[in-house]
A and B are shown apart, each in its own frame.
Chain A
Amino acid sequence: MLLIGISLVFLAVILVVPVISVLGYAFSRGLGVYLGALLAPDTLAAIRLTLITAVIVVPVNTVFGVAAAWAIAKFDFRGKQLLITLIDLPFSVSPVIAGLVFVLLFGAQGWFGPWLRDHDLQVVYALPGIVLATLLVTFPYVARELIPIMQLQGREAEEAAVSLGAGGWTIFFRVTLPSIRLGLLYGVILCNARAMGEFGAVAVVSGHIRGLTTTMPLQAQVLYDEYDLVGAFAVASLLMLLALFTLILKTMVEAFGTRRRRA
């Protein structure tokens, strides 16, 4: 009882109260002002940029995650442990470093900077930099979700398929994929949530150009810094909505998984 009480109070303090306060600020001057704040051109541009980034990052990381998890779980090769460690790296590296890496590589003073300049290409302080930084910080999510599931399943089913003469792609789509569906979905949801919410890495490579390279989390801060509390918390409320939506989806996927296992 006591433990339940403690966790409920804890949740209320660190989760429920902030959620309410964000919504409170966002709607403090009424629904009209709230909608007006969301429809401001710079904020719309930030929402668009965030969506574009997620639309590029999530599929790429899904493909990468599945490939990496498959290689690690189903095959033995030299350097496997190294690969697992590398996949975990973004979890342990500060996002700011993740952003700085790209500035050092593609910035004007970076390794590829002069070449990019000569070809009139912009990586950092533009969409490609934001996409790269987001890719880096979100790539473990899918792979990390799949590796334990795939390892647990072993490779008997795939070996049976091989002995029956199935090709690589057939095995993947008819044997492997169906068994990891839920884990994959779960990984994609988490990856998407982080991709849309990332602040640190993106802040470093964004250049903070209003209406052009500010994503939603950055825009929330820009508006806050400009004393536009309603605007800042309106953007924050969208990010929170995303978080709640992620949580609900995640719970549904989990519930669905438990039911299937029982059946």
Chain B
Amino acid sequence: MMRNLLLAAFAVLAGCGGGASGDHAGGVRLLNVSYDPTRELYREVNERFTAKWLADTGQNVTIQMSHGGSGSQARAVIDGLDADVVTLALAWDIDNIQRNGHRLPASWQSRLPHNSSPYLSTIVFLVRKGNPKNLKDWPDLLAEGVQVITPNPKTSGGARWNYLAAWGYALEQALGGDLSRLGTAPADEVAQAQAKAEKFVGDLFRHVPVQDTGARAATNTFVQRGIGDVLLAWENEAMLAQQQMGADAFDIVRPSVSVLAEPPVALVDAVVDRKGTRMVAEAYLDYLYSTEGQDIVARNFFRPTAPEVIERYAQQFPAMRMFTVDTAFGGWDQAQKQHFNDGGTYDGLFVPAAGAAR
């Protein structure tokens, strides 16, 4: 009885909020739930796609954006944020949406080319102009007095990439420069290498004075508030900050090796089917892979995946040695469990790190 009354009351309230239907005033509405550093990218993509869709089909499409830390955004989608498409920082976050509520099939990542990642990125160093602390590669970050800015891996997808990039570097060093030996080297040698990597990453995080919740907040800490000597950042985020603040404020340093970041995109089947937006949502994701979409991607500092666009922007994106999460960590599921879940390696590092960087 009480429960029914409550429900009725909230039904009235919910009613004034407007339904979740995709149709409005002869057009269609898509909600793209994305992570932090894609704001500029999708602003341009949405503008172009909207015009193209209108020209092709005569239908008005309005694309609404929501940005935040990749992990928190995935959580919001799980809790009912009605995303037609999710464009997040890492596959694990979308896997999580899949596992909690089954709103898309488990095979989502094989539905689009390149593991559903239309654009790539990597982790680089953004340093203050002239690189006053002479930071060239990962070990330089552990030098006395260097402050490293990275967000919190618990909430930020970007931060998890930062962490794994550093781990992968140290692991590769310990294995004599060959990550493929992970599978072939003797077990105790691998265990030793992992221990060395853990120590390296632990030392690195002791150089972190503040951990923001999202990549953009961390960038603001470094860029606007002027804290820290080096920002571990997505290549796109670093290039954007450089563009926004002028090339005379920051330099980008590309380390000897880094991680290949594959930010995936996916359709949320349950939502598009309920709202009747499947066709336009599919076209939207396909557009990201088109030559036009790839050009926008590259202009917004993400590494394109289409060969002819890669060639056109070769100057902007110097070749780098990159390992994938699959080779170094056996996939995201494994990496997440071992490193970032409660009681994982990251928790072990973080306890002694508190206050130690001051």
Instruction: Choose the segment among B16-24, B180-188, B285-293, B300-308 that binds chain A (4+ C-beta atoms closer than 8 Å).
Output: B16-24
Whether A109 contacts B244 by the Cβ 8 Å rule is no
B95 at the interface (CB under 8 A from A): no
A108 at the interface (CB under 8 A from B): yes
B130 at the interface (CB under 8 A from A): no
Instruction: Choose the segment among B63-71, B144-152, B321-329, B338-346 that binds chain A (4+ C-beta atoms closer than 8 Å).
Output: B63-71
A9 at the interface (CB under 8 A from B): no
Contacts of B15 in A (CB 8 A): 121
Give bound CA distance, A113 to B78, whole Å: 11
- Looking across the interface, which residue of chain B has its beta carbon closest to that of A212? B64
B10 at the interface (CB under 8 A from A): yes
B217 at the interface (CB under 8 A from A): yes
Per-residue CB contact flags for chain A residues 222-246 toward chain B (1 = under 8 Å, else 0) read: 1011110000000000000000000
Given A109-B100, A125-B80, A225-B217, CB of A210 within 8 Å of CB of B66: yes
Per-residue CB contact flags for chain B residues 274-299 toward chain A (1 = under 8 Å, else 0) read: 10000000000000000000000000
Give bound CA distance, A37 to B98, whole Å: 39
Per-residue CB contact flags for chain B residues 25-60 toward chain A (1 = under 8 Å, else 0) read: 000000100001001100000000000000000000
Q: How large, as a class, is the contact surface on chain A?
A: 35 or more
- Looking across the interface, which residue of chain A has its beta carbon closest to that of B10? A123
A190 at the interface (CB under 8 A from B): no
Contacts of A112 in B (CB 8 A): 6-7, 10
- Looking across the interface, which residue of chain A has its beta carbon closest to that of B14? A121
- Looking across the interface, which residue of chain B has its beta carbon closest to that of A105? B10
Contacts of B216 in A (CB 8 A): 225
Contacts of A128 in B (CB 8 A): 10, 13-14, 16-17
Distance (whole angstroms) from the CB of A203 to the closest CB of chain B:
9
- Looking across the interface, which residue of chain A has its beta carbon closest to that of B32? A209
- Looking across the interface, which residue of chain B has its beta carbon closest to that of A125? B81
Contacts of B10 in A (CB 8 A): 106, 112, 116, 121, 123, 128
Distance (whole angstroms) from the CB of A125 to the closest CB of chain B:
4
B76 at the interface (CB under 8 A from A): yes
Whether A210 contacts B64 by the Cβ 8 Å rule is yes
Distance (whole angstroms) from the CB of A133 to the closest CB of chain B:
12
A117 at the interface (CB under 8 A from B): yes
Contacts of B269 in A (CB 8 A): none
Residues of B in contact (CB 8 Å), total: 35
Interface SS, A side: loop
A119 at the interface (CB under 8 A from B): yes
Among candidates B7, B67, B80, B217, residue contacting A124 with C-beta atoms closer than 8 Å: B80
B82 at the interface (CB under 8 A from A): yes
Give bound CA distance, A128 to B3, whole Å: 18
Give bound CA distance, A123 to B7, whole Å: 11
A126 at the interface (CB under 8 A from B): yes
Whether A109 contacts B101 by the Cβ 8 Å rule is yes
Give bound CA distance, A165 to B101, whole Å: 61
Whether B79 contacts A103 by the Cβ 8 Å rule is yes
Give bound CA distance, A122 to B11, whole Å: 9
Query: Which A residues have a C-beta under 8 Å from some C-beta of B?
Result: 103, 106-110, 112-113, 115-117, 119-129, 131-132, 207-212, 222, 224-227
User: With contacts A122-B20, A207-B76, A224-B220 known, what are 5 further pairs, Cβ within 8 A?
Assistant: A108-B101, A109-B80, A121-B15, A122-B18, A225-B220
